[in-house]
């Protein structure tokens, strides 16, 4: 059975070229970059090269790049730094559709006395900038708004958000979780209002266990990982050198593949979307009217439940994801779909396909062939689906 | 990915008895689209209207909901109504070789549908489950407003499955799984049900050997103390015992809890009360 992997917003395959770049740094070039001898020095040079490559993809300076372990660490580091720098400010703004890395932290901080505003989204997953404008004040320590949503792919107007934060926040920091956006859409930090930005390596064909926090030059920063002097005192701990080197290569490749992502990959996504809507009645796109990442399709099928669809697809070798409650063990469907007001009839049966440059037209054809019978089979089994089919 | 047994997978991929029985003697329906799972159960009786000769189902839900429905129909076929009514959700789960705890509510849904079908057939009061709205309502106070679950129903599931934490009650019934507002009430119900069970009063022994003392400390932690911590989402682990010094490490919600010092004191008092007066409890990282 050929495996068709369309869950790239969860994690990606490590590019062979990325793996080859990191391979020597395990058993041969294993020096500690902090060491004073030549053996560590050659690794330090390669880490510097990786830092340059990451900075190039972001349109940033190398000294603005801090290597971390993952996107979650980067998000935590940014928000925790902001509240330490501004101890007198007790207000945090985020959105209802953030990744748990941000949302859980903010909700925990609210239990410690912080006022947390979670901005709403409309039915298409878009932010209301007027709500943001009304919320930001001089008590706001940080505004953390994701660049693109992991479930729907909806892209937020980050530069407009940043302008509002700078204008009304009078010193409030602006952080964006760009884990899903980096490598998929162009980002230029030199011309941006963003103070801090999070990246995760495994979302762009680097390995798991490596992340980046971009910290704009001049933005005061308080590390929550302390110890040695690595990363210019911004993140203690011996560098994960092989993964850093891999991430550098992955960023270089992401820049080269960006056009493909926005043309060929997008065309495959659009074909999948249009055909499934045609073939499967009572289906709808979550966030379909909003600007979205070129690789993401969140599609809902009424009267059926997501986990059951995923398991039947898995039997056919197709790997996707679901916004349904049952896949996560929680009882409510995805907080993103609920925040968008997606009706329960659709939220429980939502499936996310997230493509990468490694997907092919053949993959799309297979899904178009296999998915409609799966939905029909489950609808025939469902009391609500049967009512619909009989009507 | 859920760790489903081969039998759950088999009953999901090849469910038995899917469909309807147009001239069914009894139909039980529970769940709703909003809940995320629903089951409509059809039962056909023999001419004497006593034994179930056929059962079919329609299910909206995840793999374990479909597998549980399939299992239920297989279990009840050939049984009398009274025999079928005695089917527990645990029997459905056992038939499938077990279900993940988070999915136990699927087996409870099967049991509920069966109860509703038989109650409707017999013309007695129809139990209400989830927010599916039956005309006659089971007596009891609604505890979980999100899923429309009563205290009577929750107490029954708590007792039948020997549930000791609010999290377990959520896994088995969904109660508390949405807004979470009813969790304190669920904890009260657990205490009420557990408290209703006869417990033997334990007395502190007068003289203990070292070995017996250690055994008794372990026994007290397991039976008397840890279940109380579980009810609040916490836990502890026994790290070491040296004479009268007992080293414990807090886990889950107790780890890093601001009042863990008080909890350690409570553990010490409990051990002094039930084992020996000289016990000193020390919290360690482990």
Q: Number of structural domains, chain B?
A: 3
Q: Tell me the C-alpha distance between B30 and A231, whole Å.
A: 58
CA distance B175 to B85: 23
Q: Percentage of chain A with pLDDT > 90?
A: 92
Q: Minimal Cα distance from B37: which residue of A?
A: A305
CA gap A53, A192 in Å, rounded? 19
Nearest to A305 among B13, B37, B100 (CB): B37
Could A332 and B177 be called an inter-chain contact, meaning their C-beta atoms sit closer than 8 Å? Answer: yes
In chain B, % helix, strand, coil (3-state, to 5) comes to 45, 20, 35
Domain boundaries, chain A: 4-11+257-390, 16-253
- Starting at the earlier edge strand, list the strands of the sheet with A321-322: A283-285, A296-301, A350-354, A321-322
Cα distance between residue B212 and residue B196, in whole Å: 30
Q: Which residues of A touch B63 (CB under 8 A)?
A: 307-308, 311
Question: Is the CB of A383 less than 8 angstroms away from the CB of B38?
Answer: yes
Question: What ipTM score was computed for the predicted complex, to two decimals?
Answer: 0.89
Given the residues B92, B106, B154, B236, select the one marked as catalytic.
B106
Same domain, B234 and B192: no
CA distance B245 to B186: 36
Q: What average pLDDT score do residues A151-175 get? A: 97
Residue among A315, A344, A381 whose CB faces B34 most closely: A344
Residue B62 in marked binding region: yes
Q: What is the pLDDT of residue B132?
A: 40
No. of H helices and E strands in chain B?
11, 8
Please tell me the distance in Å from A296's CA to the nearest CA on chain B: 21
B144 assigned ligand-binding residue: yes
pLDDT digits (tens, 9 = 90+) for B152-188: 888 888 888 888 888 888 888 888 877 778 888 888 8
Chain A contacts in chain B segment 6-35 (CB below 8 A): 12-13, 15, 18, 20, 29, 33-34
- Taking an 8 Å cut-off on Cβ atoms, the answer to whether A383 and B59 are in contact is yes
Q: Report the relative pairing of strands B245-252 and B280-283 from DSSP bridges.
A: parallel
Asked if A326 and B12 come within 8 Å (Cβ–Cβ), the reply is no
pLDDT confidence of residue B162? 82
pLDDT at B90 over 80: yes
Q: The domain that contains B264 carries what CATH number?
A: 3.30.300.130
Q: Are residues B123 and B170 in the same domain?
A: no
- Among B18, B36, B103, whose Cβ lies nearest the Cβ of A348? B36
Q: What is the pLDDT of residues A47-87, one digit of tens each?
A: 999 999 999 999 999 999 999 999 999 999 999 999 999 99
B5 to chain A, any CB pair closer than 8 A? The answer is no
**Residue B203 located in a structural domain:** no
Residue B122, domain extent: 1-134
* B117 interfacial to chain A (CB closer than 8 Å): no
The pLDDT tens digits for B227-285 are: 778 766 778 889 889 888 899 988 887 776 666 777 788 788 888 888 888 898 888 87
pLDDT over 50 at B133, yes or no: no
| CATH classification number, A4-11+257-390, choose in 3.90.1150.10, 1.10.10.10, 3.40.50.1480, 3.40.50.300 | 3.90.1150.10
Residue B129 predicted with pLDDT over 70: no
For residue A264, give the H/E element and its range. none
Sign of the torsion angle spanned by Cα atoms A293, A98, A142, A77 = negative
pLDDT of B137 > 60? The answer is no
pTM score of the predicted model: 0.81
Higher-pLDDT residue of A302 and B285 is A302
A326 assigned to active site: yes
Q: How far apart are the first and last CA of chain A?
A: 37
Whole-angstrom CA distances from A314 to A2, A213, A317, B9 are 11, 35, 5, 12
For A16-253, give the CATH class: alpha beta
Q: Assess contact for A218 and A286: CB atoms under 8 A.
A: no
Quick one: pLDDT at residue A53?
98
Residues A331, A307 contacting (CB under 8 angstroms)? no
The whole-angstrom separation of Cα A257 and Cα A250 is 10
| Average pLDDT rounded to a whole number, residues A247-275 | 98
Same-domain pairing of B231 and B246: yes
Where residue A357 falls (left for φ over 0; alpha for ψ -120 to 50; beta otherwise) is alpha
Whether B254 is catalytic is: no
Angle at B177 between CA A104 and CA B64, to 5 degrees: 115
Residue numbers in A near B37 (CB within 8 A): 305, 326
Q: Could you tell me the strand order of the sheet in which B280-283 lies? A: B234-242, B245-252, B280-283
> Is B2 among the domain residues?
yes
Find the closest chain A residue to B57 by CA distance.
A381
């Amino acid at each position: 059975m050929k495996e068709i992997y369309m869950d790239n917003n969860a994690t990606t395959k490590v590019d062979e070229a990325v793996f080859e770049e990191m391979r020597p740094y395990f058993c041969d070039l294993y020096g500690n970059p902090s060491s004073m001898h030549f053996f560590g020095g050659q690794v330090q040079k390669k880490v510097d090269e990786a830092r340059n490559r990451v900075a190039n993809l972001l349109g940033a300076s190398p000294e603005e790049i801090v290597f971390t372990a993952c996107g979650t660490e980067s998000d935590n580091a940014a928000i925790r730094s902001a509240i330490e720098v501004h101890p007198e400010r007790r207000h945090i703004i985020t959105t209802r559709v953030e990744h748990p890395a941000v949302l859980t932290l903010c909700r925990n901080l609210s239990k410690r006395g912080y006022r947390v505003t979670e901005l709403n989204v409309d039915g298409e997953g878009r932010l209301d900038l007027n709500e943001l404008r009304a919320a930001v004040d001089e008590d706001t320590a940080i505004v953390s708004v994701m660049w693109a949503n992991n479930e729907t792919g909806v892209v937020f107007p980050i530069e407009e958000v940043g302008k509002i934060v700078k204008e009304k926040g009078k010193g409030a920091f602006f952080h964006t979780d760009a884990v899903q956006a980096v490598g998929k859409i162009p980002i230029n930090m030199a011309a941006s209002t963003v103070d801090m930005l999070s990246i995760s390596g495994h979302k762009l064909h680097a390995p798991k266990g490596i992340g980046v926090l971009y910290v704009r030059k001049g933005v005061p920063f308080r590390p929550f990982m302390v110890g040695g002097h690595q990363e210019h005192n911004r993140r203690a701990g011996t560098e994960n050198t092989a993964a850093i080197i891999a991430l550098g290569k992955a960023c270089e490749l992401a820049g080269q593949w960006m056009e493909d992502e926005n043309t060929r990959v997008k065309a495959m996504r659009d074909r999948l979307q249009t055909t499934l809507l045609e073939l499967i009645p009572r289906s709808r796109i979550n966030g379909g009217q909003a600007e979205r990442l070129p690789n993401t399709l969140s599609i809902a099928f009424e009267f059926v439940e997501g986990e059951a669809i995923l398991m039947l697809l898995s039997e056919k070798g197709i790997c996707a994801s679901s916004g349904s409650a049952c896949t996560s063990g929680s009882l409510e469907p995805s907080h993103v779909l609920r925040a968008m007001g997606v009706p329960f009839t659709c939220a429980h049966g939502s499936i996310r396909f997230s493509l990468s440059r490694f997907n092919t037209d053949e993959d799309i054809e297979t899904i178009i062939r296999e998915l409609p019978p799966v939905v029909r089979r489950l609808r025939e089994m469902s009391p609500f689906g049967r009512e619909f089919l009989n009507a | 990915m859920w760790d489903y047994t081969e039998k759950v997978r088999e009953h999901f991929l090849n469910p038995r008895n899917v469909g309807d029985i147009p001239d069914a003697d009894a139909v039980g329906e529970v769940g709703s689209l909003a809940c995320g799972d629903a089951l409509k159960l059809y039962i056909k009786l023999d001419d004497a209207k006593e034994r179930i000769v056929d059962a079919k189902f329609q299910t909206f839900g995840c793999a374990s909901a479909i597998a549980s429905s399939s299992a239920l129909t297989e279990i009840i076929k050939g049984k009398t109504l009274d025999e079928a009514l005695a089917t527990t959700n645990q029997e459905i789960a056992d038939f499938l070789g077990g279900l993940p705890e988070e999915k136990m509510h699927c087996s409870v849904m099967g049991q509920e549908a069966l109860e509703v079908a038989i109650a409707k057939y017999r013309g007695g009061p129809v139990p209400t489950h989830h927010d599916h709205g039956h005309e006659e309502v089971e007596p009891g106070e609604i505890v979980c407003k999100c899923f429309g679950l009563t205290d009577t129903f929750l107490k029954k599931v708590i007792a039948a499955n020997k549930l000791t934490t609010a999290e377990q009650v959520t896994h088995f019934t969904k109660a508390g799984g949405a807004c979470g507002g009813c969790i304190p009430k669920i904890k009260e119900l657990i205490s009420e049900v557990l408290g209703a069970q006869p417990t033997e009063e334990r007395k502190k022994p007068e003289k203990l050997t070292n070995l017996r003392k250690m055994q008794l400390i372990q026994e007290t932690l397991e039976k008397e103390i840890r279940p109380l911590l579980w009810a609040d989402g916490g836990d502890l682990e026994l790290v070491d015992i040296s004479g009268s010094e007992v080293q414990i490490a807090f886990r889950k919600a107790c780890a890093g809890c601001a009042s863990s010092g008080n909890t350690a004191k409570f553990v010490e008092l409990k051990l002094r009360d039930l084992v020996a007066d000289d016990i000193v409890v020390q919290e360690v990282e482990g």
